[in-house]
Amino acid sequence: MKGGQRVRRTERRIPARVPTASPAAARLATDAVEPSRAGATWFAPFAVAWLCLWTVQLTPTQLLLPLQLNTPDGADGWVLGVVYSGLVFALGGVAAIIAGPLAGTLSDRTRSRFGRRRPWMAGGIVVTAVSTAVLGLQHTVVGVAVMWVGVSAGIAVASAAYTALVADQLPAAQRGTASAVIGATQAVGIIVGVGVVIGFALTVQQGYLVLAVAILVLGLPTAALLPDEPAPLGMAESTGVRRLLSRLWVNPLAHPDFAWVIVGRVLVNIGNALGTALLLFFLMYGIDDSNAEIDLFVLIAVYTVFVVAASFAGGWLSDRLARRKVFVAIAAVFQTASALLLAGWPSLGTAMIAAALLGIGYGGFSAVGLALAADVLPAEEDHAKDLGIVTVAASAPQLLSPLLGAGLVAATGGFTLLFTVAAVASLAGALSVFAVRGAR
Q: What is the CATH classification number for the domain harbouring 261?
A: 1.20.1250.20
Residue 191 belongs to some domain of the structure: yes
Residue 396 belongs to some domain of the structure: yes
Question: With 50 as the cut, is the pLDDT of residue 398 above it?
Answer: yes
In sign, the C-alpha dihedral spanning 83, 156, 98, 385 is negative
User: Region 16-21: what's the mean pLDDT?
Assistant: 40
* Higher-scoring residue by pLDDT: 206, 80: 206
Instruction: State how far the Cα of 212 lies from the Cα of 195, in Å rounded to an integer.
Output: 16
pLDDT of residue 17: 39
Of 359, 372, 292, nearest in space to 331 by CA: 359
pLDDT tens per residue, range 241-260: 555 555 666 667 777 888 88
Contact indicator for 394, 265 with CB cutoff of 8 Å: yes
Instruction: State how far the Cα of 136 lies from the Cα of 302, in Å rounded to an integer.
Output: 28
pLDDT of residue 76: 53
Of 271, 296, 297, 273, nearest in space to 286 by CA: 296
pLDDT tens per residue, range 366-377: 777 777 777 777
Of 86, 163, 80, nearest in space to 121 by CA: 163
pTM for this predicted structure: 0.71
pLDDT of residue 238: 46
Residue 12 belongs to some domain of the structure: no
Instruction: State how far the Cα of 335 lies from the Cα of 350, in Å rounded to an integer.
Output: 14
Question: With 80 as the cut, is the pLDDT of residue 274 above it?
Answer: yes
Out of 17-31, 114-128, 382-396, 405-419, give the one with best mean pLDDT: 114-128
For the chain, what percentages of helix, strand and coil (3-state, to nearest 5) are there? 80, 0, 20
Of 43, 53, 58, 248, nearest in space to 159 by CA: 53
How many angstroms separate the Cα of 21 from the Cα of each of 27, 78, 363? Answer: 10, 60, 41
Residue 101 belongs to some domain of the structure: yes
- Cite the DSSP H helix spans in 322-432: 325-344, 348-375, 383-412, 416-432
* Higher-scoring residue by pLDDT: 297, 247: 297
Residue 15 belongs to some domain of the structure: no
**C-alpha torsion angle, residues 251, 257, 261, 267 (rounded to 10):** 80
State which residues form the domain around 330: 41-230+248-435
Least confident range from 136-150, 168-182, 381-395, 411-425: namely 381-395
Residue 179 belongs to some domain of the structure: yes
Q: Average model confidence (pLDDT) for the chain?
A: 81
Enter the DSSP assignment of 358: H
Out of 37-41, 203-207, 412-416, give the one with best mean pLDDT: 203-207
Residue 35 belongs to some domain of the structure: no
pLDDT of residue 311: 81
Q: What is the DSSP string of 216-235?
A: IIIIHHHHHHS--PPPPTTS
Residue type, 354: A
Structural domain tally of the chain?
Answer: 1
Of 211, 184, 186, nearest in space to 200 by CA: 211
The percentage of the chain sitting over the pLDDT mark of 70, rounded to a whole number, equals 83
In terms of phi and psi (left: phi > 0; alpha: psi -120 to 50; beta: otherwise), the region of 255 is beta
pLDDT of residue 181: 87
Instruction: State how far the Cα of 280 lies from the Cα of 70, in Å rounded to an integer.
Output: 10
User: Region 261-272: what's the mean pLDDT?
Assistant: 86
Question: Which residues are within 8 A (CB) of 70 and not within 5 positions of it... i.e. 6 or more apart?
Answer: 78, 81
The percentage of the chain sitting over the pLDDT mark of 90, rounded to a whole number, equals 33
Residue 381 belongs to some domain of the structure: yes
pLDDT of residue 150: 97
pLDDT tens per residue, range 90-142: 898 889 888 988 888 888 778 788 888 999 999 999 999 999 999 999 999 99
